[in-house]
Amino acid sequence: MMDSETTVHVIGVEPEGPDPDRPPLSGLLGHCGLLMGGRRHIEGLSAYLPPGARLLAVTNNISEAMTALKDFVAGAKGMVAIVLATGDPLYHGIGGPISRAIPRHLLSFTPATTLVQRAFSLLGEPWEEAKVASIHGKKEDPVLSPGRWIFYTGGGRGPAQILEISLRQGLEVREMTVLEDIGLPGQKVTTFCPVDAGEINSREFRTLNMVVMTLEDKTDRKNADI
């Protein structure tokens, strides 16, 4: 059952992809006039949409996506927009820009398991003390500190860039694990210890990846080795 006021439904999906036969998608797709999300998420859903519905793949075109949402909301006429995003859209995801672009009373958010949770489950380690940062399509570098870190990557920035940022900020990378295609048939987990910059820079990692690292202060590491 749809809320009569809600116009934009932002729905988190697992890495394996959306399930059109389960709520909330099962009750929304037939009323959808605009479907947005990653290309691999939306392409398989076109058959469930009413005639004339628009599909918009979201990559680095956030400005275009927000304009499309605003235009849709202005003339919705009883239809809804659906935005699909891996994990929790409000956690280092597209939910942030949407919440700033669209009035809150027109929005509905449904989270899925975050990639942070999925990554640490694969590693079999608790993550309540882990620090989380995103370099996905961002020009600004995160300010790092010693500890256990996990990074969202993408938009042309991946493990090599994270390593470069860490070293430039005077930190020692004790260990790095790259988790590629989490939840997909090609899922791969690779740990580098010790971490060799040349090896990381020369490797071709899959586009969908998360990076987990342990960072130490170089001074503390030198003292510990004495």
Q: How confident is the model over 46-59, as pLDDT tens digits?
A: 999 999 999 999 98
Section 61-81 average pLDDT:
94
CA gap 107, 113 in Å, rounded = 20
Residue 71 lies in a domain: yes
Asked whether residue 120 falls in the same domain as residue 190, the answer is yes
Section 187-199 average pLDDT:
97
Q: Which of 113, 141, 157 delimits the end of a domain? A: 113
Asked whether residue 58 falls in the same domain as residue 158, the answer is no
Asked whether residue 82 falls in the same domain as residue 132, the answer is no
Asked whether residue 55 falls in the same domain as residue 141, the answer is no
- Quick check: 203 and 158 in contact, CB under 8 A? no
Total structural domains in the chain? 2
Asked whether residue 130 falls in the same domain as residue 82, the answer is no
Asked whether residue 20 falls in the same domain as residue 50, the answer is yes
Asked whether residue 128 falls in the same domain as residue 162, the answer is yes
Q: How confident is the model at residue 6 (pLDDT cuts 50, 70, 90)?
A: confident
Q: How confident is the model at residue 188 (pLDDT cuts 50, 70, 90)?
A: very high
Asked whether residue 179 falls in the same domain as residue 150, the answer is yes
Asked whether residue 90 falls in the same domain as residue 127, the answer is no
Structure tokens at 185: 């048939």
CATH number of the CATH domain containing 134: 3.30.950.10
Asked whether residue 141 falls in the same domain as residue 206, the answer is yes
Q: Which of 113, 147, 165 delimits the end of a domain? A: 113
In this predicted model, what pLDDT tens digit does every residue of 13-31 receive, in sequence order? 999 999 999 999 999 999 9
The domain containing residue 200 runs over which residues? 116-225
Residue 3 lies in a domain: no
